[in-house]
Structure 1
Amino acid sequence: SDPIGGGGLGPDAPGALRPGPAHPETEPALTLPVRNTATVPVSVTSHFHFFEVNPRLDFDRAAAYGMRLAIPAGASFRFDPGGAAEVGLVPIGGARVAIGFAGLVDGPLDAPGAKEEALRRAAACGYLGVPHERGAGEKTDEKGGDN
């Protein structure tokens, strides 16, 4: 009395759909505190190079270089105006090439000097969370204090 089913075969019936193994939640390799200094909410998607996110998000960008959010593919994380949150990050996989985003890298993440050049570009563009050059070897943080 099952006109369409496989009779008594259950999950062994021809054409039966069987779910694959569940994917475990991604364990963060790094957890960083992030503060949104903007007056508007900022959303970041799962596979965006976190180093290059909105310049008004204040966090340790050097530590976030080559990383993405540890959230499922297609998901996003929202930072409310003036709010703070801790985020988990994992290394970007595959060929580790970042093209597009904010244009701070635009190439292989692990190329010699790429991280230093990206930090220099971020500082020059006024990104929070990177040291800013002050003069002859002296550096300040983004708030103007000594490092």
Structure 2
Amino acid sequence: ALRSMISVLRRGGGPLMPTPSWADLDGIVQEARRSGLAVRLDAADLGDLGDLGGGGEQAVVRVVREALGNCVRHARGAQVEVRIARSGDEALVRVRSLGGTAAVAPMRHDSEGWGLQMLRERVAALGGAFQAGPDGDGWTVEARLPAGARS
């Protein structure tokens, strides 16, 4: 039973996790702001990402949700910039945080939590590239997905 539950969670399907979409972005950002983050969302190019496909759209929204959730836990009060844009034949999503204080014990820089691991797998399955880690005085999570990525 535990294996099947983990399988469902990894796939992100089923009733446990509703399928995320562009329509969820504002709510995700508002929730992060209510949790004490100063979030700036730069997503003016969403109209240009229509050919990204459902799988790509879900992956982008999941990256934003996971990265902001990690900021709430590990960098409360941080300045966070969320950028979603078209870059040539790719969609780029980047979440960069600066400052803040940990609400829970900080992650070691050489470790990666389950959420980031699952994002890495999801983005790779769509033919994209994923990276997360320290970036100067902050932390950056970034994914690049090919246009037309499918679930």
- TMscore range, shorter length: under 0.3
Larger proportion of helix: 2
TM-score of the superposed pair, with normalisation by structure 2: 0.26
- Normalising by structure 1, report the TM-score: 0.26
Q: Mark the structure with the bigger radius of gyration.
A: 1
